[in-house]
Structure formats: C-alpha cells, structure tokens
Amino acid sequence: MSEAKGLKSWLTTTDHKRIGLLYFWTAFVFFLIGGVEALMIRAQLARPDSQLVGAETYNQLFTMHGTTMVFLALMPLGAAFFNFIVPLQIGARDVVFPRLNAFSYWVFLLGGLFMNASWFLPGHPAPDGGWFGYATLTERQFSPGPNIDFWLLGLQILGIASLAAGFNFIVTILNLRAPGMKMMRLPVFSWMTLVTSFLIITAFPVITVALVFLMFDRVFGTHFYLPAAGGDPVLWQHLFWVFGHPEVYILILPAMGVVSEVLPTFSRKPLFGYTVVVYSGVLIGFMGWGVWSHHMFSVGLGPIADSVFALTTMLIAIPTGVKIFNWLATLWGGQIRLTTAMCFALGFIALFTIGGLSGITHASPPADLQQTDTYYVVAHFHYVLFGGTIMGLFAGMYYWWPKMTGRLLSEPLGILHFWLTFIGMNLTFFPMHLIGLLGMPRRIYTYSTDLGLDRMNLWSSIGAFTIGLGMVVFVYNMWRTRRHGAVAGPNPWGGATLEWATSSPPPVHNFDVIPTVTSRMPLWDAQPPAKAPAEPVHVPPGSWWPLVAAAGLPVMALAPLTHTVWIVFVGAAILLYGIYRWAYEPFEV
Amino acid sequence: MPPFRRHYTSFAALSLGLLAACGGPFPQSTLAPVSDFGHDIDRLFTGIFWWAVAVFVVVEGLLLFSVFRFRHREGAPSPKQHEGHTALEITWTLAPALILVFIAVPTVRTIFKTAGDAPAGALRVEVIGHQWWWEYRYPDLGIVTANELHLPVGRPVAVDITSVDVVHSWWTPRLGGKRDAIPNRHTKLAFAPDSVGMFTGQCVEYCGASHANMRLRTFVESDSAFQAWVAAQRATPSAPAKGSVEETGRQAFQRYGCIACHTVAGFATGIIGPNLTHVGSRTTIAGGTIMNTEQHLHDWIADPPAMKPGSMMPNMHASPPDVTALVAYLQSLK
C-alpha cells in the first residue's frame, strides 16, 4: 500500500486497498453496533412481560438492527472485499474510477452517521417504522416525529453510495481484467461481485423511487400511499419488495463468492462445475426479480398471483441447490485443511442449507400464512443472512486478512471464534423456528407467559450472548495481530488466484508487472516468470473532492428534516463545487 | 386424533431434542389446528417439512462425510483435479426440480382451496383493525364488539378484513392462517371452526408503539351458547338506578368526554374507540392484553398509556372516586 501516512493521506486516498480498509473498519463498527442492538432485543425478550426497555425503544432497536445490518454492515463488508480483492483478483492496478470509489465510501460513511445521529438528539428520535417501513404507519399522520425522516433520508444517501460503487465495479470487472483473463477465467468472487453490482444498479433505483414518494407524502403532503386521497399503501409494499428481494441476493451472492474461493483453496481442488456455479449465480440474480410478492402472501393478492409467485420462488431453489451440490463435489476427494476460514465456509454450507429449506416452506403461500411475520421467518432469514452471509464474510475475513494486513490471525483463537459463533448461532435461531410455529409474532416488545415460550426465548437469548462472546474473541484476535500475528508472506494458504501473486499487503500499484493469465487457477498452473517493469507505474494521486462532494449530501438531507428550504441550496452548492473541482482536477503523473 | 394428541405428535416430529426444554402448553400453536382451513395448511406444511428433512439429511450427511473422509494427510499426493461432471450436474438439477413438483402441486391446490371463499349461508363477520384493538361487526346480527370474537362451532365463517389507520394482520393461529388488514382494502378469510374453546391470537403486522398489545380472543361455542351470547349482545343495557354508584359513573362517563369516542347503546355514540355497550361481559380490556377485573379496569382508566404504550385513550386525570364510579358503571354493562 501507499507509503504516505497521516490523516490527510486517508481522507484523500483513492487507492482501492485503502478504501477497502476504510469500508471494512467502518462497516465492522456498524456491525458491532447492530450486534449490540440485537443483544438489547434479546435481553428484552429473555423474559415474558419484561420492562427492560420500553415499547418505543424496542421498536427503534429492531428497526435500526435490521437497517444497520443490511445497509451499514453486511453490504459494505461485501464492498470492503470488492474494493480490496477484486482489482487484485483480476490483475488490475485499481478500479476504473478511483475518485468515484472514494466518493462512494464517504457517502456511505456520512449516510450511516446521519441515520445514527438520531440516537443522540434530544428525545432520541431514532427510526421506529421497521426496516421495511410499511406505509401507512410511516406516513406523517401516524409517525409525526423526525424518526422516519432520518430513516428515509439516510437510505437515500446510502443508495447513492451503492449506485456509484455498483457502476464502478461493473466497469472495472468488464474492462480492467489482466491479459488472458477471459470472463470464464474470472475468479468466482469477482463474478459474484459483477452480478451483485448489476443487482445494485437495478434494485436501488426502485427503493429510491419508493423513498422519494414517501418523502413527498411526508414533506409536501402528496398521497402516494394514503388511501384517503386515492393512494395505496400496497404500492409501497410492491416497490419495497421489488427492491427488497434482489437485496437479499445482493447480501448473499458475495458470500457465495467467498465460499467459492475458500473451498477450492483448502481442498486443494479447483471449484467443481465452475461454469455451472457461475451461471447459477447469474440465474439467481435474474430470477430474484420475479419473486417479490412472496413477501406479501398475507396481503391477499388473490390465488393466481399467489400461485405464480410461489412457483417462481420455488424455481430459485434449483440454481441454489446446484451451487450447494457443486461445493460438496469440490470437497469430495480433496485434501481438506480445516483452517478457520474453511470452518466458516463449511458452516456456510451447513447453515445456509437450513435457511434455504425453511425458505421452501414459506414459498408455499398457504403454509406462509401461518409463518409470515412470526419468529419462524426470523429464524429463516437469520439462517440465510447470519448462517449464510455472515459466515461467508467471516470466512473472507480470515482468508484475506493476511492479504490486507500482512499478518495471519491466530488459528486457535479463530477456531474458538468459529465454535462460539456456530453454537451460539444455532442456539439463538433454531428455537425461533419453534417459537414462530407455536404462535409468537415478530416485532413485539413483550409477550405473555401464557404462550408457553418463556424457556425457548431464554435459550435464544443465551445463544445471542454466546455469539457476542465469539465477537469479543474475534476483536481480540484482530487487535493481537498488530504485533503478534505471524507474517503472512504473499501466499500463506497456497491460493490459486491472482491476489496471492503479489506481496501482503500489496504495493500501492499492486503488481510490478501485470500478470498474463492462461487458466482459471493461475498460481496452481505453471506461469511464465514476470519480467521487470519497463517503465515507472503511474499511481492515481489523492483528492479532496470526493469527500467534499459527498459532504454536500447529508447537508441537503437536513433541509427536509428541518423543513428549511435554503439548506438544500447550501448542500447542493457544496456537492456541485466538489464535482466541479473534481472534474477539473489536474491529472498528475 | 384429539387436538392436543395431534399437537404433540407433530411437535415431537419437529424437534425431539428440544422437546424436554420447551415448556408449554402452546395456546397459539399453528401445529394444533381447529378449523378446516388450519388443517389444510397443516397437511401442506407437514408434507413440505418431510421433503425438507430428506434434503437436509442428504446435504448435511454429504458435508460431514466429506469433511471426515477427505481430511488432509501429510505427504498425501495432490488430489485429482476434477473440474466438473456433466451427468452429475444434470442429476442435481433435475432431482430438486422433481421434488419441487411434489411440493408445488399440493401448494397450488391448497391456494385455491383456501382462497377465502366461504359457502353460502356462512356467518358474516367484519374485522376492522385500529391502533391498537380489533373491532368486530356481525352485519347480519347487528352486533358490534371489540377484541373478542364469538363463533358457533361447525358453521362456516366469512371474514371480511380491513383497517381504519395502518396495516394490521388478523391471526388466530389455531383457526388457520393470517390475513392483512389494509386501509381502504377488503381482504377475506373463510373457515369453519371444528372444536369448542377459547383461542387466542394477536396482530402480526407491525403497526406502531403497541403492536405487541393488540391481541384477540376467539370463543368457539356450541350453537346454543352462541345464540345466548347473540341475544345478550343485542339487548340494550338498562339505565343504572337513580343514586347508585353506577349512575355516578355514567355521569362521569359523560363529564370526562368518554362519550366522544365510545358507543354505549342508548346513551353514547362515539365511534373512535371500542363499543362499550356490553364491555362488562368481555373477559379482557385494553386490546385483549389484560383481564377485565375491577382492579385492572381501575388501573386502566386511571392511566391508559401506562398500561398500553402510545394508547390513543389519553389519561383523563379522573379523580379516584370518579374512577371507582366509572369502573362500577362499565362493569354493569353486561
């Protein structure tokens, strides 16, 4: 990485590796915040009729837990690896638009801070409408405070960050691949980054439209979702889930990509059925657009709509199942080394399978009528998003930590982290299947002891704190590597892809010579030796303007929040000035 | 099989390991249905559940076997570099597709069977969601009540569901699936309860501060008991005797403005809150969350938001003697 030190070098950086680290640490802090919110939820639900936190606080906690984990933790943790790893995997020196990349990060950071600032204002007006923000509850009439405004403005800011990053990675992957790296030689993680980026640029405009409608309803008195004047609250549900279901794949596909890298490395075998795995990922991305109404079976859209969405949803199980079988076949006959990264990848397969199977049970609309909005669904999607996405991201963290920092995480501590997480996760979420089937709804801050679910809820809470303990071990492990981690060297795991062809951490220009690729597993197949660089490598200089431009957005968002029109012009002026200076910035060589 | 036997069999099938630590009984179990609708869903779910168990065993079995069988050994030769196998790919594409056919066919059949179309002559019930209580209307019987639904056993019921404010969802798990209550839309459910008993449920769509306190009770009764209940609900309560504490309570009911929101047939016509004409005959108050006892009613009237966060019924700061009189009056409305 760049030799430059000090705060300025980080504020102005356009190096994809530094931006990757900024994404990683910011998202990791938000991940811890979302985790603390989860622990407070489980503390409240450990006993029936608990008075620990009130109804209002609880509603804010589950709203912000969901919103934080989806938009501020899991997506940007994926983006951290997109940033750090993808340019290395494809043999590039950086992303196509390095300053746009910095802009994405700063917008993400400021959007996250904007939304969370609501906790610290007088009266703590944190969002309380649920991460799904159903109209008409989120309309001014039923939520008069600024809570929902923080949520819908924060999400609009974050959407800009995601869109900019999505375009950047699509163009980067399509255009900056090293010589010889045909699309069908692209590592699966980079492939899944590409599919995810396409989903981002197509899904986020939809939620942006939905949020703008809601903002107009709340600020300017329109009636998009208000039935009294001919609007329809179900419109919100359609728009939200047209975004919301692809969003699920935005969260899971990067983790599937990580697993597709980790399993071959630690089985010492290439990924089984590479082509099928890639096409399955693409197919899942496409089919993810045709299933949104399975979130709405209880709305009563009618038997024909319900049947169609049930069948499209069930069809997605096929490419998903194909991926799982190909991963199993990758293990088959291999030389499996149970490193921490591998344990998390295997945990992904074990747990994601459970989430997929419970998903089939509510792909069936009549069955879903008993399951939706109960803890059964909470169990289901935590097996997908924790058992799947988070296990996959942990696998990625152990796998790529040495590449990102130059040092190895402790394996014994890692294995301890894995078992605490795996056991805690199942203890937390498995009982929720039963809690839901036995009649406990989601999003309730209190429940009666009459439900007979006290003990299962207590187990679930104990499980949550076990996960928390695992996180303490992990944070200690990361902190410890600052001095005590073993030095990694370029390729500590014997990986086959190009990120392992350069030093750890890589130099600012990534590769002295851009490698020429002749196969899918370049480091496992004999490669011609790299020649010395013919000329000095140009490295893009730092720039203040992405940060300045990004700072205009939260300022603009203050206008609808405070109902003060002139602020929007101040924010727009900052944004435009930043873009103007950015556009005319001299190109230094 | 009697409901509770069936209940425990399905339950044991689901999780033998956890059974001992579970607790129970489970009054809101979806696995112990008491209506045709509930049984249809339960049968469908059970079928899908066993397919899921089969796939689970295969996948997790292969995973565990691979991890134990193919562990790295020092000095072992590099494994064979399989890149794929077309026949295998086709097999594990078609096998899940075939299983899905076995799930999809009964699914679609059940969708149309449970689409909410009740047979002619069904008892019509209108469910109206409010923040945070349920209004029930029997349009053919002229009854309006709240939070506690009475149904005759065996007779089909046609439920029409809507909301006056935000989206709610009406659910009595043992009577079958839920359906959303959406403002300006009417959704429907149809079922015929097959067992006598009191079945609890609650709102299952997040609807604001007291979503957790929006509960309900459904009493499925013999036909004669139901008819007796209908007769009592249709009667207009007599005015309290002059000079009685109930009479003082009725005056307080007017003085504190309770009449602006509540209906008491023959006396008050407010429509914002629950109809209180026969509130004394209900077993619960405050959105079905607390038992309708003298003490609870007293605490409720003295400070509603303290018992139900966000309650639309404000604290009227009634004097203690007035609260006592109000309780006496409301309890007299049998």
> Which of A59, A349, A370 has the CB atom closest to B30's CB atom?
A370
Task: For chain B, positions 96-135, list CB contacts with chain A under 8 A.
Answer: 96-97, 100, 103-104, 107-108, 110-112, 114-116, 131
Do B178 and A360 lie within an 8 Å CB cutoff?
no
> Which of A321, A450, A456 has the CB atom closest to B92's CB atom?
A321
Q: What b-and-e string marks burial along A308-322, b requiring 16 or more CB atoms within 10 Å of the CB? A: ebbbbbbbbbbbbbb
User: Domain limits of chain A?
Assistant: 18-521, 546-589
**What whole-number distance in Å separates Cα of residue A498 and Cα of residue A518?**
12
**pTM for the complete prediction?**
0.95
Compute the count of residue pairs across chains A and B with CB atoms less than 8 Å apart: 295
Do B70 and A444 lie within an 8 Å CB cutoff?
no
Which pLDDT value is given to residue B82? 86
Do B165 and A142 lie within an 8 Å CB cutoff?
yes
Assign residue A212 a region: left if phi > 0, alpha if psi is -120 to 50, beta otherwise? alpha
Q: For chain B, what is the largest distance between any 2 Cα atoms, rounded to a whole number of angstroms?
A: 102
B179 touches chain A (CB under 8 A): yes
Do A373 and B24 lie within an 8 Å CB cutoff?
no
B320 touches chain A (CB under 8 A): no
Complete DSSP assignment for A523-586: TTS--PPPPPPSSPPP-PPP-SHHHHHHHHHHHHHHHHHHT-HHHHHHHHHHHHHHHHHHHT--
Residue of A nearest to B171 (CA): A370
Q: What is the pLDDT of residues B40-58, one digit of tens each?
A: 999 999 999 999 999 999 9
Q: Let me know: does B29 contact B7? Beta carbons within 8 Å.
A: yes
What domains are defined for chain B?
3-73+82-113 (1.10.287.90), 123-221 (2.60.40.420), 245-332 (2.60.40.420)
**What whole-number distance in Å separates Cα of residue B83 and Cα of residue B102?**
32
The C-alpha of A548 sits at a distance from chain B's nearest C-alpha, in angstroms, of: 38
> Which of B66, B73, B104 has the CB atom closest to A314's CB atom?
B104
CB atoms within 10 A of CB B315: 12
Do A273 and B21 lie within an 8 Å CB cutoff?
no
**What whole-number distance in Å separates Cα of residue B202 and Cα of residue A539?**
62
Retrieve residue B222's tokens. Answer: 């013999």
- Helices A375-384 and A340-363 cross at an angle (nearest 10°) of 140
**What whole-number distance in Å separates Cα of residue B62 and Cα of residue B68?**
10
Q: Let me know: does B245 contact B233? Beta carbons within 8 Å.
A: no
Which pLDDT value is given to residue A175? 96
Do B212 and A451 lie within an 8 Å CB cutoff?
no
Regions of chain B where pLDDT drops below 50: 1-5, 16-17, 19-21
Retrieve residue A256's tokens. Answer: 């599937």
Top residue of A434, A459, A461 to mutate, by most chain B CBs within 10 Å, is A434
Do B203 and A441 lie within an 8 Å CB cutoff?
yes
Top residue of B42, B92, B169, B185 to mutate, by most chain A CBs within 10 Å, is B92
Write the secondary structure of chain B as one string of H (helix), E (strand) and C (coil).
CCHHHHHHHHHHHHCHHHHCCCCCCCCCCCCCCCEHHHHHHHHHHHHHHHHHHHHHHHHHHHHHHHHHHCECCCCCCCCCCCCCCHHHHHHHHHHHHHHHHHHHHHHHHHHHHCCCCCCCCCEEEEEEEECCEEEEEECCCCEEEECEEEEECCCCEEEEEEECCCCEEECCHHHCCCEEECECCCEEEEECECCCEEEEEECCCCCCCCHHHCEEEEEEECHHHHHHHHHHHHCCCCCCCCCCHHHHHHHHHHHCCHHHCCEECCCEECCCCCCCCCHHHCCEECCCCEECCHHHHHHHHHCHHHHCCCCCCCCCCCCHHHHHHHHHHHHHCC
**Contact list, A380 vs chain B (CB under 8 Å):** none
Regions of chain A where pLDDT drops below 70: 1-3, 526-535, 587-589
The C-alpha of B81 sits at a distance from chain A's nearest C-alpha, in angstroms, of: 5
**Contact list, B32 vs chain A (CB under 8 Å):** none
Do B56 and A142 lie within an 8 Å CB cutoff?
no
Residue of A nearest to B32 (CA): A438
Residue A243: exposure state from Cβ atoms within 10 A (0-12, 13-18, ≥19): buried
The fourth-level CATH superfamily of domain A18-521 is: Cytochrome c oxidase-like, subunit I domain (1.20.210.10)
The C-alpha of A205 sits at a distance from chain B's nearest C-alpha, in angstroms, of: 25
**Signed CA dihedral, A166, A167, A170, A173: sign only:** negative
Q: Fill in the amino acid letter for A515.
A: P
Do B183 and A233 lie within an 8 Å CB cutoff?
yes
Alpha-carbon radius of gyration of chain A: 24
Q: Let me know: does A358 contact A380? Beta carbons within 8 Å.
A: yes
- Helices A75-89 and A147-175 cross at an angle (nearest 10°) of 10
Residue A5: exposure state from Cβ atoms within 10 A (0-12, 13-18, ≥19): exposed
The C-alpha of A298 sits at a distance from chain B's nearest C-alpha, in angstroms, of: 5
**What whole-number distance in Å separates Cα of residue B312 and Cα of residue B307?**
12
Per the DSSP assignment, residues forming a β-bridge with B217 are: B148, B200
> Which of B31, B107, B310 has the CB atom closest to A364's CB atom?
B107
Distance of CA B192 to CAs B39, B82, B220, B236, Å? 11, 58, 10, 30
Side-chain half-sphere exposure of A500, counting CA atoms within 13 A: 18
**What whole-number distance in Å separates Cα of residue B168 and Cα of residue A233?**
12
**What whole-number distance in Å separates Cα of residue B160 and Cα of residue B165?**
16
Distance of CA A475 to CAs A29, A340, A414, Å? 11, 15, 10
**What whole-number distance in Å separates Cα of residue B26 and Cα of residue A452?**
5
Q: Let me know: does A355 contact B52? Beta carbons within 8 Å.
A: no
Top residue of B15, B107, B168, B308 to mutate, by most chain A CBs within 10 Å, is B107
Q: Fill in the amino acid letter for A445.
A: Y
Do B166 and A134 lie within an 8 Å CB cutoff?
yes
Task: For chain B, positions 207-236, list CB contacts with chain A under 8 A.
Answer: 207-213
Per DSSP, A73 falls in state I
Would you call the peptide bond into A505 cis, given omega within 30 degrees of 0 as the criterion?
Answer: yes
Which pLDDT value is given to residue A6? 87
**Contact list, B310 vs chain A (CB under 8 Å):** 55-56
B16 touches chain A (CB under 8 A): no
Distance of CA A130 to CAs A58, A67, A384, A454, Å? 11, 8, 19, 24
Residue of A nearest to B12 (CA): A434
The candidate with the shortest Cα–Cα distance to A253, out of A360, A184, A331, A166, is A166
The candidate with the shortest Cα–Cα distance to A160, out of A561, A553, A547, A551, is A553
CA A507-A509-A510 angle, to 5 degrees, is 60
